[in-house]
Amino acid sequence: MAKQKKLLVFILTIGVFGILNTEMGVIGILPEIAEHFNVSVSAAGWLVSIFAIGVAVSGPTMPLMFSRFDRKKVMVFVLSVFVVANIVSIFTTSFTILLIARIIPALCHPIYCSLAFSVAADSVSKEEAPKAVANVFIGVSAGMVVGVPIVSFIAGVSNLQMAMAFFAIVNIAVLIATFLFVPSMPVKEKISYGTQLNVLKHSNTWLAIIIVVLINAAVYSVYSYLAEFLQTVTNVSSNITSLILFIYGAANIIGNILAGRLLIVKPVKTIVALPFLMGAVYILLFFAGQFTLPMALITLIWGILAGLAANINQYVVTTAASEAPDFANGLFLSACNIGTTIGAGVGGLFISELGTQYVVLVGILSLILTAVFIFLRNYHLRTAELVSK
C-alpha cells in the first residue's frame, strides 16, 4: 500500500512537471520559434502570456466543473488534451494554430494541477499532507525552471521540432503511467457547486488569495528579469547566467523539500518569517548584486525561499477553504498567475523608468504588503478561534 502511494505521488510529480514544462519551456526557445514562424520575439512571447492568462481565467472555474467526476478519468482526459496540443505544436506551420494549441491546454492546466495537489494530500494522513504536496511541488519547480534549459539545449543540439517533441514525450509517458498504474478514484462525497462557492464568502479565503497574489508578485517581479539583471548589473557571461539560473531552479527544489517539513512542524512561524527573510535577501541583492560570487550565494538562498513560498501559497489557500479542496487549488493557481502577471508588468515599468537594478524595489514593496496581510490573516484566525470557544 505504501509503495502504491509513493508511485501515485511520483506519477503526479512527473505529471505536473510535464504540464508546467509545456507552459514555461517555450521561454527557452522563443527566438527559434520567432525565426521559424517569421514573427517578432515579442509576438512569440504571446505563447507564454496567453497560457498564463488562460490559467488565470480557468483556475477558479474548471476545477470546480470537473470536481464531481472520477479523478483518474479527468487526469487521463487532461493529459490527452496536452498530448494532442503538443503534437499539433510540433507539426503546424501556422503561428495562429500554434497559439490555439497553447490556449486549449492552458484552460485544462488548473484541472490537473489542482487534482494532483488534492490527490497527493488525500493519499496520506492530514498531518503528512503538506509533505506529500511538497513532493508534487518538486515537479512544479522542475517544470518551471529546470525544463527551460533542457528544452533550450535540445533546440541547440537538434532543432525546434525536437525541442517541442520533448513536451509531448513527457506527457505521453505520464498519460500511459496514469492509465496503467493510477487506480480509479471516484469522488466519495460529491460536494455541490454551491457549497464549494460558499468558501468565497469567508474573509479568510480572500485574505489567503491576496497573500498568494502578493507573494507571487514579489517573486516574479524580480525573477522574470533575473537573466537581464545578471547581464546588465552583475555583468556576467551567458554561461555564468545559465549556471546561476540553474542554481535558482535547484534551490527551488530544496525549498520544496524544506516546506514539506516546516509546514507540518511550524506552519504559522514559517508563513510569518517568509516576507522578512525574502526581504533581507532582496536588500542584499540590491546592494551586492554587482558582485558575481555574492550574487550566486544570494540566488541560492533566494531560490530556496521561493520554493518555500510556492508551498506556502498553496497551504494558505487550501487551509482557508479546506471544505472545497479542488476549488481551493484552482483559486490558488489563478491567484499565482495573477500575481506573476502583475509582478512582471510592474517590474518592467520600474526597469524602463529607473533601471534594471531597481526592479528589486517592486519585490520589496510586495513583501511589505505581504507581511501586512499575513498579520491580518493571523489576527482573523485568532479571533475566529476565540469566538468558537
Q: pLDDT digit string (tens) for 230-242?
A: 888 999 887 788 7
322 or 236, which is more confident: 236
Q: Which domain holds residue 47?
A: 1-182
d(CA 220, CA 222): 5
* CA 134 distance to own-chain centroid: 12
Q: Which amino acid is at 269?
A: K
**Do both 9 and 77 map to the same domain?**
yes
Mean pLDDT in the chain?
87
Q: Which three cell numbers stand for residue 65?
A: 466543473
- Residue by residue, DSSP assigns 202-226 as -HHHHHHHHHHHHHHHHHHHHHTTH
Q: Where does a domain end: 182, 206, 225?
A: 182
Asked if 126 and 227 sit in the same domain, the reply is: no
Q: How confident is the model at residue 348 (pLDDT cuts 50, 70, 90)?
A: confident
User: Is residue 363 assigned to a domain?
Assistant: yes
Q: Is residue 170 part of a domain?
A: yes
Domain C-terminal end among 182, 207, 233? 182
pLDDT mean over 215-240 = 86
Same domain, 349 and 227: yes
Give the DSSP letter string of 132-154: HHHHHHHHHHIIIIIHHHHHHHH
Q: Is residue 41 part of a domain?
A: yes
**Distance between CA 299 and CA 306 in Å, rounded?**
10
> Higher pLDDT residue, 172 or 250?
172
The pLDDT value recorded for residue 338 is 87
Residue 86 has pLDDT above 90, yes or no: yes
8 A C-beta contact, residue 317 and residue 204: no
- Give me the pLDDT at residue 290, please: 93
Q: Do 102 and 204 share a structural domain? A: no
Examine the domain organization and report whether 144 and 243 are in the same domain.
no
Distance CA 385, CA 379 (A): 10
Look up residue 37 and give its three cell numbers: 514562424
Lowest-confidence pick of 18-27, 176-185, 380-389:
380-389
Q: Output the domain CATH number for residue 313.
A: 1.20.1250.20
Classify residue 140: in a domain, yes or no.
yes
Of 125, 158, 182, the residue at which a domain comes to its end is 182
Both 166 and 207 in one domain: the answer is no
CA-to-CA distance for 323 and 301, rounded, in angstroms? 35
Q: Which of 59, 340, 363 is nearest to 216 (CA)?
A: 340
Check pLDDT > 70 for residue 1. no
Q: Are residues 235 and 95 in the same domain?
A: no
Quick one: pLDDT band at residue 190, thresholds 50, 70, 90?
A: low
Residues 132, 200: one domain? no
Q: CA-to-CA distance for 185 and 298, rounded, in angstroms?
A: 43
Q: Cell numbers of 111, please?
A: 484541472
Give CA–CA dist 204/380, Å, rounded.
7
Residues 120 and 241 in one domain: no
Contact 209, 59 (CB under 8 A): no
In what helix (H) or strand (E) does residue 320 lie, and over which residues does it extend? helix 292-320
Tell me: do 204 and 178 sit in the same domain.
no
| 167 plus 297 within the same structural domain | no
Q: Is residue 188 part of a domain?
A: no
**Residue 123 and residue 232: Cα distance in Å, rounded?**
47
Dihedral pair phi/psi, residue 197, rounded to 5° = -70, -20
Residue 354, in any domain of the structure: yes
Q: What is the model's pLDDT at position 192?
A: 67
Query: Highest-confidence range of 22-36, 92-106, 371-385, by mean pLDDT?
Result: 92-106
User: Pick from 364, 383, 192: which is nearest to 281 by CA?
Assistant: 364
Given this model, what pLDDT does residue 387 score? 60
Q: How far apart are CA 351 and CA 271, in angstroms?
A: 29
Give the HSE-up count for residue 260: Cα atoms under 13 Å, Cβ half-sphere. 19
CB atoms within 10 A of CB 86: 22
**pLDDT score of 12:** 92
CB 184 within 8 Å of CB 119: no
In this structure, is residue 190 part of a structural domain?
no
Q: How far is residue 82's CA from residue 90's CA, in Å, rounded to a whole number?
A: 12
Domain count, the chain: 2
Share of the chain above pLDDT 70, in %: 96
Q: Where are the beta strands (DSSP E) in 180-301?
A: none
Rounded to 5°, the CA angle 303-308-313 comes to: 125
Global pTM value = 0.80
pLDDT tens digit sequence for 104-142: 999 999 999 888 888 888 877 777 788 888 888 888 777
CA distances, 39 to each of 45, 48, 161, 188 (Å): 10, 15, 17, 49
Please tell me whether residues 132 and 255 are part of one structural domain. Answer: no
- Write the pLDDT tens digit of every residue in 60-75: 888 888 888 899 999 9
Q: Does residue 146 fall inside a structural domain?
A: yes
SS3 187: coil
